[in-house]
């Protein structure tokens, strides 16, 4: 019976091509719009590192002005000072911890015919790589000795290695950053955590940085940060003073695998701050914070309110399309009520007529879903062109495609149940007398 | 075959109440060919709808083929329509999207027969009405008379015990009308009970018995001498096979 | 009117569906239009700069031999001498770009005095002219006031120029000119000039709270502003880039953009929101028109005989058209009444959750007007088709 009904559905769609196109177009448009916004929203609020997002914690310390909170007593600085970061790296009882910041410099390709070009630099401990599960194409992180002794070593992103070495294995070769040479120890595979949770400054969806160098080089090479710096006190008269200032500009993360480790780290932080208070720092009440990745993303409001508004409006739009579809289906079904009357007279039960029309609605739903999928692909191209750094947020994957077809089918059935029910309830005798 | 006792059927709208059948009683024997006549609004159509289990009624009893069908559920009525009753309508009521073969197939589908069995029956029914060669045509490609023959084939394919015809010749010319009546007579000859509603006394004469309805009641029952020419022609045609 | 209403009530479902559709459409269209216009107003605000004439870029020295101060001085001489250039100036950061720097200013000396945050821009005496800012009070910096300073050195200029908006924020009485302000409540500077408007960066929350300082920080990475005569910008941009690169191999030129593009990038998200919402509004209007159209066509086909009978009984074509128009108008009107409540409800929800401002009242009547027109246009074709049904239909039986 299913295939018989499928054939009837096909015949029915062919019978009124214009009406069929309108109905399928209506649901397709609704699905396309809703899926475009849903994809962006879904990827924006996605867990960028599901395997350990609940075990990675952002550390916040309140070293701010004793007379004035950073933003509010609940909003303590997102970043940490250089001196605290280095101290916490030395002493913290965490399986892994990492302090880092973003900088900006000029890379000089060694082939002199290529012009120097700007690159972003992540200045970090080696722990960055195991902590954030970065995939390596060649080599690996630099060693503990490189961190300790401030060696000029570098890890390249996939794109940078493409640009500087044509994608070849460049381990052991040299890269000229600014006017200094760095030895390549690792090359990453293409890697784009979305959102870029470990450093949300400037924009949450940008690509990861181009090159990675040891943080211990900061003082000797006077590496200035290129992200954001906030100060409530003088930043000092020279670079060394700046490193010792109360300015916050580093991101500090720890990995804590068990609740016991979390508790231990918390009390370690409190002890650290109490020690510092004795030195005259941290004059505000004890207010240290540990937030795991998803808590951090929601605290930082990574999903812009515009995206929430668009998602809501898109689903309201889908609702309009469905109401519209219900109206058109009702017109279509009632328009050939006589046929159903004949079928009923010839022995089809109500359930069979209902089933027949539901199959037709299902076919419309699947077609509408496919149209919607194509439209959402187009919609995502449009959205990607309108925003910056949205490439990572406008990718349809098989799961999303499945969701699209599912929503289309589900909403078509919702829109079609009433018309199908109406048609199967109509009086049998009414339509037989005249045509 | 069918036995109706004191059936009442009332149509209600906001303003008026119409008693379409009042204490209506009628008995039709197995193998009989009954013509029902009456003026417009007399309750003919209601009678046919009730007989064909297309409509329910308030009071009275209706026994069909030895079974009381007065208060069956919609599903049960659908099944009996499908298995025991064949319909022929004035306006043919073929499904325009389906070709001839598929139109005849419709009642068989709802009976859940296997494909081979359906094919055989459709083939045979279309041969009876002489349209086996037009199987792949759409209804719109046939004349009115041919369409009505397809409708007859559709009714035959289900091998009904009772064939209900509602003005079967209302929409065809007189020559074709006679041919269709002969087909119906032939089906009756092979044992199927026939109830035909018509306003045309000429056509009514093909039946064994004429029942006249007026104001929702049977007013007159009249045995008919079998129309000699009709009988003659039907036999001559020799196309009527029991299925 | 009454017979139309009762006919509508008889075909309840179709009419109810159209009414629902119109109601939700009104709610979305009113709110979306409101947001679109808000964003467009934001994007359209003048920045105070000569937006069309300016381009900006960074000169980035990357060798140990690079000397910032002589390079900057040499570059400025070169740029200012170029035909087609109005003026050029070094600046710490490019206004309206994603980079910005701000500091707290107070009107009284002392730690933790209440103050306001303002965007800081270091320029020389050519700064005002290169940016195209309009001085409304006081004077520009003089050549003598401009200091070349080492990036590591602390520096407080004796004189500053502020925007009108910042002047008002600091001195609400409007007597800012000649007054002294304090950097973080400590080092003083005197306000010698007020510019009408200068949009810098949004980090303080007020894009128009900007302050100009007469100094050139001799950093290796230095931003330049170049203002060109009308029509010369696009020709000069590649030329300047090439010329400066060649003039000094110890540096490179990066992030060169016209101010128009920098501003467009600044408002990118607002423009995206406006574009997407406009597309949604257009599609929604099309879908709703389709719904009204579809129902009307369905009703015309179903009532062919009835319409023919009316015609046979003496109804003129105009009467038939009128009938369908009034029917559509009735549905639209019921829809917009419900829709107005929905629109206000939706706005209330947006206000509560997403910091969207309260709806300006006239958007609701405007949306109602739009849907009335839409309802009339969508039903016109079916109404004309109904009017063309011949009276003879009445006598046909099949």
Using the structure block, give the residue that is written with the tokens 């359930």. A351
Mean pLDDT in chain A?
A: 90
Determine the residue of chain C that is closest to A301 in CA distance. C354
User: pLDDT tens for residues A177-235?
Assistant: 988 999 999 999 999 998 999 998 877 888 899 999 999 999 999 998 888 888 888 77
Contacts of C28 in chain A (CB under 8 A): 313, 316-317, 320
Q: Give the mean pLDDT of B117-127.
A: 92
Tell me: pLDDT of C398 over 70: no
- Which residue in the set A178, A202, A387 is minimally distant from C269, CB to CB? A387
User: pLDDT tens for residues C351-367?
Assistant: 998 888 899 989 999 99
| B236 near A CB under 8 A | no
Contacts of A116 in chain C (CB under 8 A): 62, 252
pLDDT of residue C54: 97
Question: In angstroms, rounded to a whole number, what is the distance separating the alpha carbons of residues C130 and C132?
Answer: 5
Omega cis (within 30) before A281? no
pLDDT of residue A397: 85
Chains that touch C (3 or more CB pairs under 8 A): A
Tell me: pLDDT of C111 over 80: no
Asked whether the beta carbons of A179 and A110 are under 8 A apart, the reply is no
- How far, rounded to the nearest angstrom, does the alpha carbon of residue A304 sit from its chain's CA centroid? 12
Contacts of B54 in chain A (CB under 8 A): 344-345, 428-429, 432
Decide which of C6 and B70 is more confident. Answer: B70
pLDDT of residue A339: 86
Ramachandran bin of B65, using left for φ above 0, alpha for ψ from -120 to 50, beta for the remaining angles: left
Chains that touch B (3 or more CB pairs under 8 A): A
Asked whether the beta carbons of A73 and A66 are under 8 A apart, the reply is no
Determine the residue of chain A that is closest to C153 in CA distance. A237
Q: Give the mean pLDDT of B92-99.
A: 86
Task: Give the burial class of A26: count Cβ atoms within 10 A of its Cβ; 0-12 exposed, 13-18 middle, 19 or more buried.
Answer: buried
pLDDT of residue A72: 82
Of all residues in chain B, what percent carry a pLDDT higher than 70? 92
Contacts of C279 in chain A (CB under 8 A): 382
For residue A275, the tally of other CB atoms under 10 A from its CB is 12
Q: How confident is the model at residue B226 (pLDDT cuts 50, 70, 90)?
A: low
Q: Give the residue ranges of DSSP H helices in chain C.
A: 2-10, 12-43, 68-81, 127-131, 164-170, 233-247, 259-266, 268-302, 304-312, 317-354, 363-387
Mean pLDDT in chain C?
A: 91
Cα–Cα separations (whole angstroms), residue C396 to A210, C297, C312: 81, 21, 12
State the complex-level ipTM. Answer: 0.87
CA distance A339 to chain B (A): 6
Name the 3-class secondary structure at C14: helix
pTM for the predicted model, two decimal places: 0.85
Question: In angstroms, rounded to a whole number, what is the distance separating the alpha carbons of residues B196 and C99?
Answer: 91
Q: How confident is the model at residue A132 (pLDDT cuts 50, 70, 90)?
A: very high
Tell me: pLDDT of B218 over 80: yes
Asked whether the beta carbons of C339 and C25 are under 8 A apart, the reply is yes
CA distance A116 to chain C (A): 7
Asked whether the beta carbons of C141 and C124 are under 8 A apart, the reply is yes
Q: How confident is the model at residue C11 (pLDDT cuts 50, 70, 90)?
A: low
Q: What is the DSSP letter of A142?
A: P
CA distance A49 to chain C (A): 27
- Which residue in the set C60, C153, C297 is minimally distant from A106, CB to CB? C60
- Which residue in the set A65, A313, A422 is minimally distant from C32, CB to CB? A313
Asked if A308's CB is within 8 angstroms of C353's CB, the reply is yes
CA distance C278 to chain A (A): 12
Q: Where do the DSSP E strands lie in B33-107?
A: 33-37, 59-64, 67-68, 85-88
CA distance C311 to chain A (A): 22
pLDDT of residue A108: 87
Lowest-confidence pick of C108-117, C216-225, C340-349? C108-117
Asked whether the beta carbons of C323 and C4 are under 8 A apart, the reply is yes
Number of alpha helices (DSSP H) and beta strands (DSSP E) in chain A = 14, 10
Tell me: pLDDT of B222 over 70: yes
Asked if A387's CB is within 8 angstroms of C397's CB, the reply is no
Contacts of A316 in chain C (CB under 8 A): 24, 27-28
User: pLDDT tens for residues B17-63?
Assistant: 888 888 999 999 999 999 998 888 888 888 988 998 888 888 899 99
Beta strands C180-183 and C147-149, pairing class: unpaired
Q: How confident is the model at residue A19 (pLDDT cuts 50, 70, 90)?
A: confident
Q: What is the DSSP string of A27-70?
A: HHHHHHHHHHHHHHHHHHTS-S-TTTTTTEEEEE-----TTS-S
């Amino acid at each position: 019976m299913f295939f018989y009904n499928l054939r009837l559905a096909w015949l029915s769609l062919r019978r009124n091509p214009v009406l069929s196109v309108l109905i399928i177009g209506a649901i397709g448009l609704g699905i396309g719009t809703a899926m475009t916004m849903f994809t962006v929203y879904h990827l924006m609020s996605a867990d960028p590192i599901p395997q350990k997002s609940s075990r990675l914690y952002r550390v916040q310390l309140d070293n701010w002005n004793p007379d004035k909170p950073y933003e509010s007593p609940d909003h303590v600085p997102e970043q940490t000072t250089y001196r605290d970061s280095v101290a916490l790296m030395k002493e913290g009882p965490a399986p892994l911890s990492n302090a880092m910041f973003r900088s900006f410099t000029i890379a000089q390709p060694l082939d002199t015919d290529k012009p120097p070009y700007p690159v972003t630099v992540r200045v970090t401990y080696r722990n960055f790589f195991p902590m954030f599960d970065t995939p390596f194409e060649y080599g690996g992180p630099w060693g503990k000795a490189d961190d300790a002794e401030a060696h000029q070593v570098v890890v390249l992103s996939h794109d940078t290695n493409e640009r500087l070495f044509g994608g070849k294995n460049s381990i052991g070769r040299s890269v000229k950053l600014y006017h200094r040479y760095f030895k390549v120890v690792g090359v990453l595979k293409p890697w784009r955590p979305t959102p870029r949770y470990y450093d949300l400054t400037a924009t949450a969806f940008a690509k990861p940085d181009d090159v990675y160098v040891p943080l211990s080089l900061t003082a000797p090479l006077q590496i200035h940060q290129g992200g954001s710096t906030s100060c409530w006190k003088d930043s000092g008269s020279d670079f060394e003073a700046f490193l010792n200032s109360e300015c916050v500009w580093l991101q500090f993360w720890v990995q804590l695998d068990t609740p016991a480790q979390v508790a231990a780290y918390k009390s370690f932080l409190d002890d650290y701050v109490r020690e510092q208070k004795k030195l005259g720092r941290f004059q505000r009440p004890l207010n240290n914070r540990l937030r795991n990745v998803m808590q951090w993303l929601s605290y930082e409001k990574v999903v812009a309110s515009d995206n929430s508004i668009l998602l809501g409006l898109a689903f309201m739009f889908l609702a309009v399309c469905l109401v519209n579809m219900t109206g058109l289906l009702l017109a279509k079904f009632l328009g050939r009520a006589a046929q159903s009357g004949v079928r009923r007279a010839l022995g089809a039960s109500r359930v069979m007529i209902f089933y027949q029309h539901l199959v037709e609605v299902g076919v419309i739903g699947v077609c509408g879903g496919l149209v919607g999928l194509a439209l959402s692909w187009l919609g995502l191209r449009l959205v990607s062109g309108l925003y910056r750094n949205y490439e990572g947020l406008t990718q349809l994957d098989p799961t999303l495609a499945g969701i699209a077809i599912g929503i289309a089918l589900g909403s078509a059935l919702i829109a079609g149940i009433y018309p199908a029910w109406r048609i199967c309830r109509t009086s049998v005798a009414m339509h037989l007398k005249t045509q | 075959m069918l036995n109706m006792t004191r059936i009442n059927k009332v149509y209600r709208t906001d303003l008026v109440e119409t008693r379409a059948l009042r204490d209506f009683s009628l008995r039709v024997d197995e193998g009989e060919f009954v013509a029902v006549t009456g003026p417009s609004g007399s309750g003919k159509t209601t009678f046919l709808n009730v007989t064909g289990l297309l409509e329910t009624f308030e009071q009275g009893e209706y026994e069909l083929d030895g079974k009381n069908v007065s208060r069956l559920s919609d599903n049960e009525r659908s099944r009996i329509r499908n298995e025991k009753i064949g319909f022929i309508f004035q306006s043919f009521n073929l499904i325009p999207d389906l070709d001839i073969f598929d139109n005849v197939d419709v009642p068989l589908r709802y009976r859940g027969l296997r494909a081979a069995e359906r094919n055989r029956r459709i083939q045979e029914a279309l041969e009876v009405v002489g349209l086996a060669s037009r199987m792949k045509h759409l209804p719109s490609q046939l004349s009115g008379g041919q369409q009505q023959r397809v409708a007859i084939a559709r009714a035959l394919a289900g091998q009904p015990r009772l064939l209900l015809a509602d003005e079967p010749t209302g929409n065809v010319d007189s020559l074709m009308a006679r041919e269709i009546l002969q087909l119906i007579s032939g089906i009756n000859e092979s044992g199927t009970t026939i109830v035909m509603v018509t306003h045309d006394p000429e056509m009514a004469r093909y039946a064994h018995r004429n029942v006249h309805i007026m104001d929702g009641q049977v007013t007159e029952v009249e045995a008919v001498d079998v129309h000699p020419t009709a009988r003659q022609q039907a036999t001559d045609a020799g196309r009527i096979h029991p299925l | 009117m009454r017979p139309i209403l009762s006919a509508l009530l008889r075909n309840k479902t179709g009419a109810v569906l159209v009414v629902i559709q119109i109601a939700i459409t009104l709610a979305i269209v009113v709110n979306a239009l409101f947001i679109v216009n808000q964003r467009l107003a934001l994007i359209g605000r003048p920045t105070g700069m000569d937006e069309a004439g300016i381009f900006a870029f960074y000169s980035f020295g990357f060798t140990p031999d690079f000397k910032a101060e002589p390079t900057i001085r040499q570059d400025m001489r070169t740029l200012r001498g170029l035909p087609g250039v109005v003026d050029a100036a070094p600046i710490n950061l490019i206004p309206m770009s994603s980079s910005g720097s701000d500091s707290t200013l107070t009107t009284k000396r002392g730690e933790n005095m209440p103050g306001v945050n303002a965007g800081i821009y270091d320029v020389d005496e050519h700064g005002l002219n290169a940016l195209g800012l309009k001085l409304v009070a006081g004077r520009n910096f003089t050549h003598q006031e401009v200091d070349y300073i080492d990036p590591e050195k602390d520096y407080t200029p004796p004189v500053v120029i502020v925007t009108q908006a910042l002047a008002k924020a600091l001195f609400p009485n409007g007597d800012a000119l000649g007054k002294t302000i304090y950097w973080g409540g400590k080092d003083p500077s005197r306000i010698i000039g007020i510019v009408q408007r200068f949009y810098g960066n949004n980090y303080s929350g007020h894009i128009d709270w900007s302050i100009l300082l007469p100094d050139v920080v001799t950093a290796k990475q230095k931003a330049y502003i170049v203002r060109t005569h009308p029509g010369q910008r696009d020709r000069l941009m590649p030329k300047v880039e090439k010329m400066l690169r060649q003039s000094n191999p110890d540096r490179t030129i990066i992030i060169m953009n016209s101010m128009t593009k920098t501003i467009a990038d600044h408002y990118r998200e607002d423009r995206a929101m406006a574009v997407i919402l406009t597309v949604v509004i257009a599609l929604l209007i099309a879908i709703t028109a389709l719904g009204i159209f579809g129902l009307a066509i369905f009703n015309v086909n179903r009532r062919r005989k009835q319409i023919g009978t009316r015609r046979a009984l003496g109804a003129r074509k105009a009467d038939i058209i009128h009938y369908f128009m009034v029917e559509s108008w009735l549905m639209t009107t019921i829809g917009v009444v419900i829709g107005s409540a929905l629109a206000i409800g939706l706005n209330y929800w947006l206000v509560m959750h997403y910091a969207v401002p309260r709806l300006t009242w006239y958007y609701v009547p405007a949306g109602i007007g739009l849907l009335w027109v839409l309802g009339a246009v969508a039903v016109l074709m079916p109404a004309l088709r109904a009017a063309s049904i011949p009276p003879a239909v009445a006598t046909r039986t099949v």
